[in-house]
Chains A and B, each alone.
Chain A
Amino acid sequence: QVQLLQSGAEVKKPGASVRVSCKASGYTFTRFAIHWVRHAPGQGLEWMGWIDGGYDNTRYSQNFQGRVTLTKDTSASTAYMELRSLTSGDTAVYYCATTGGRYYFGNWGQGTLVTVSS
């Protein structure tokens, strides 16, 4: 079955960067895009962007344009999300998810808590 395994929790200082990984298994990685969604405390879910599994296509939410970069290592079936210039407002649980070619997130990673604190 499809599984998305994310890297562990991170604590960062304001102004720093963080990189979260998402290792996929149970399907052919190049078939489907990986999306990233975050959930800040007391806030709703926020879609950040996606990276195509097979091609070098990415798309980002304007809310993160210029601060986030999505990359992948196809040979390792792993996607990465890097967020720069962190502020306390970036404290959140970050999820990777895949649609399996459909229009909803059928599979999610377990989430990675990123805490930004001085």
Chain B
Amino acid sequence: DIQMTQSPPSLSAFIGDRVTISCRASQTINSYLNWYQQKPGNAPKILIYGVSSLESGVPSRFSGSGSGTDFTLTISSLQPEDFAIYFCQQTYNFPWTFGQGTKVEIK
């Protein structure tokens, strides 16, 4: 199975800060890397697919980058509604696997 390692596990930031979350795959996954946002009591919501494609309706302050095994989710200016848990996911090979999540909290 492909292991997905996210860092950091949690972070605290101010409104307006630039935030970056990293995700590393245990082997190359080409561009089959997605990012989800999950808020308490809700199902995950797709933000970014295929490394850098923004899902329709997702604010442009979210962006994704990377290649091969190393990927990054960036929030350019953190907003109150962005406090949540973020997961990366690889869909290169079954079983599709997720990172352990990064909890973004308000400072």
Contacts and interface: CB of A to CB of B under 8 A. Distances in A.
Nearest to A109: B43
A54 interface: no
Contacts of A44: 87, 98-101
B74 interface: no
A95 B43 contact: yes
Contacts, number: 52
Interface in A32-79: 35, 43-47, 59, 61-63
B98 A46 contact: yes
B98 A47 contact: yes
B89 interface: yes
Given A95-B43, A103-B32, A109-B43, A47 B87 contact: no
Please classify the interface of chain A as helix (H, G, I), strand (E, B), loop, or mixed, using the class held by over half of its residues. loop
A106 interface: yes
B43 A110 contact: yes
Interface residues of A, number: 21
Contacts of A27: none
A47 B92 CA distance: 13
Interface of B: 1, 32, 34, 36, 43-46, 49-50, 55, 87, 89, 91, 94-101
28 contacts: A45-B36, A45-B98, A46-B98, A47-B96, A47-B97, A47-B98, A59-B94, A61-B94, A61-B95, A62-B1, A95-B43, A103-B34, A103-B49, A103-B50, A103-B91, A104-B34, A104-B49, A104-B89, A104-B91, A105-B34, A105-B89, A106-B46, A106-B55, A108-B43, A108-B45, A109-B43, A110-B43, A111-B43
